[in-house]
Amino acid sequence: MPISPKISIITVVYNGATTLEATIKSIASQSYKNIEYVIVDGNSTDKTLRIIKQYEGVIDQWISESDHGIYDAMNKGIDLATGDYLWFMNSGDQIADTTTLERAINCMPDADIYYGETVMIDNAGNEIGDRRLKTPEVLTPASFKKGMLVSHQSFIVKKSLVDHYNLKYTYSADFKWCLKAIEKSGNICNTHLVLSKFLDGGFTKQNIVPGLKERFRIMVNHFGLLSTLYHHIFIALKFFGFVVRHKRF
């Protein structure tokens, strides 16, 4: 029989009454059954808690309390999770389809990381197009010299390989967290699947400038100043080329 590791899917939410239900439904509909679903709510003041309570039958653990930002909330999710793997699917984001997780895990037994592509969606769940950055065929730490080539929502990682997010970084702690996990990994599986649908206009886009500044500092720390400057020439060219072609970023 195929191995069915427990996958802890963690949703971080704050005032997500208009976005959370679609996320919950995408997780509840998965054909893969060994899922632990954890929701970390930041003490929402809208109808988010009502939605959580409505779906308590498919939620294994949830908490609602104030936090110190999105990465602090994610750290709480890590502490609550008991699965073999972690997958962050925040409010408004969705798993690509009902068989996605099953097909991803079956790609390779006992991989350290499973990764794939990401499609952007709007508030109504309509697909806008592919994510600007494409995943590499082979994912290594050096891949991140070209930016965060794998979306955080399309990155399933063994819990044993990760620590908490570094709260020194307010906007790009996920970049450093994923990079460190890749550095520790031996078996990394490119699923060649679209794993997630990412809600456009969220935390990352709202804070794109400070986020890019933080990411630049992280890249300098990992790869050195000259390498980071060199690769940013191509990052900038690709960014502006994408914006011109697609009228979005």
Tens digit of pLDDT for each residue in 69-79?
A: 999 999 999 99
Angle made by CA atoms 151, 177, 71, in degrees to the nearest 5: 85
Tokens of 41: 């709510």
Domain annotation for the chain: domains and CATH numbers: 7-246 (3.90.550.10)
Residue 125: the pLDDT is 84
Tokens of 182: 């890749």
% residues pLDDT > 90 (the chain): 73
Q: Residue 130 — pLDDT band, cuts 50, 70, 90?
A: confident
Give me the helices (H) in the chain, please.
20-28, 48-54, 70-80, 100-105, 173-184, 203-206, 208-223, 225-246
Averaged pLDDT score across all residues of the chain = 91
pLDDT band for 240, please (50, 70, 90 cuts): low
Length of the chain: 249
Burial class from Cβ neighbours inside 10 Å (0-12, 13-18, 19+) for residue 55 reads middle
186: left (phi over 0), alpha (psi -120 to 50) or beta: alpha
> pLDDT tens, 33-55?
999 999 999 999 999 999 999 99
Cα distances (angstroms) measured from residue 28 to each of 24, 35, 93, 126, 235: 6, 9, 13, 20, 37
Rg (alpha carbons) of the chain, rounded to whole number: 17
